[in-house]
Amino acid sequence: MLVRITITVLRISVLLALILGIVFWTGNGDSLRAVHIVLGILVVLTLWILGFAQAPAKGGNWGLAVGAFILGLILPIFGLGQEGLLPGSAHWIIQVIHLLLGLAAIGLGEMIAGRCKRLTQAATV
């Protein structure tokens, strides 16, 4: 149940953060930057919950938990610090990296949730 709720929150948070990121990229919606940051924090927290929820279970993977933790650290550090990185016409490179990190977060979260589902199904058989 925890994994199902957490992956749903992760999916919604990433989707909304992605939409806001695209709005920012077009030069609009700067007043919503705080909402984007809060959504990013929610993405990180849900990723950490997923990672550490599956790790101690029988068949769990501590490597995935550590990977979720590391990605969860990198994402906000990079996101909050990106304004000062590569300013000017090349800043789009930093924006693309931030986007790819966000997509990596949802990918890793989905992978962990799928693993949890398979572990749960295997335990009930």
CA distance 57 to 61: 8
CA distance 25 to 22: 5
pTM equals 0.89
pLDDT computed for residue 91 by the predictor: 83
pLDDT computed for residue 125 by the predictor: 67
Q: Which of 58, 93, 98, 92 is nearest to 76 (CA)?
A: 98
The answer to whether 80 touches 37, Cβ cutoff 8 Å, is yes
pLDDT computed for residue 79 by the predictor: 87
Q: In Å, how far from its chain's centre is CA 103?
A: 7
The answer to whether 23 touches 29, Cβ cutoff 8 Å, is yes
pLDDT computed for residue 16 by the predictor: 96
Q: Which pLDDT tens digits describe the chain residue by residue (125 residues)?
A: 888 999 999 999 999 999 999 998 888 888 999 999 999 999 999 999 999 998 888 888 899 999 999 999 999 988 888 888 888 888 889 889 999 999 999 999 999 999 988 888 877 76
Q: Which segments of 26-90 does DSSP mark as H helices, in order?
A: 33-54, 62-81
How far is CA 97 from each of CA 7, 50, 82, rounded to the nearest angstrom? 23, 23, 10
